[in-house]
Amino acid sequence: MKILIGTPVNEVKDYCMERWVANVSKLRKEYPADFLMVDNSPGLDYVKKLEEYCKNYGIKSYKIKHLEIGMHQPSAEKIGRSREIIRQEILASDYDAWFSWECDQIIPTYTLGTLVKIMKAGSYMMIHPNSWAREIPTEPNASFGCALINRKALEKYGFLLECPNMPDCWHGGENWFKKQVLKGGGSYIEVYGVINPIYHLNK
């Protein structure tokens, strides 16, 4: 499968960005995939820092797109609009799936290859290797922090409030997307223990 690793990023996550870029570099050596970051930080200064991180870890093939959005807009809106840019990148190309991988999660390098095998075996539209919520370590976390999403789902559903049948607020967009996939007859699976460990960084 041809995969796009697509991630919204912001300078507030700089505490973990270098470690994550290093993780991306290692993972792509095991499963080659294209790499897109959508930076929604104010101005273009952080783009330069991202480029430096990529250079330091030998990442030469990648894209960075910048989304200029008010710094006081809710983070859920910044993420939603960034995800829509990633979605449009996938639809404009011949990608089979989007690997949604948040920049505060460190994962094993075999993760993407394993998820691709599971998606193919079960013809799933979405697959999520469940981890634990950072704020409440005893609660499972089934967000888009680490998820493989099939192109077919992205052809049907988007991430902007302006899209048909969207909720009236930015929060909860991930749950809405999953529900739409299931309502439309698609399949979604959460798998526990297949990918381990997943570190959700907060410092």
Q: What is the pLDDT of residues 108-163, one digit of tens each?
A: 999 999 999 999 999 999 999 866 555 555 555 557 889 999 999 999 999 887 76
**What is the architecture of the domain spanning 3-200?**
Alpha-Beta Complex (3.90)
Question: How far apart are alpha carbons 170 and 152 in whole angstroms?
Answer: 23
Cβ atoms within 10 A of the Cβ of 72, count? 5
pLDDT at 67 > cutoff 90: yes
Q: Which of 14-23, 92-101, 133-142 has the lowest mean pLDDT?
A: 133-142
pLDDT at 52 > cutoff 60: yes
Question: How far apart are alpha carbons 178 and 203 in whole angstroms?
Answer: 29
pLDDT at 41 > cutoff 90: yes
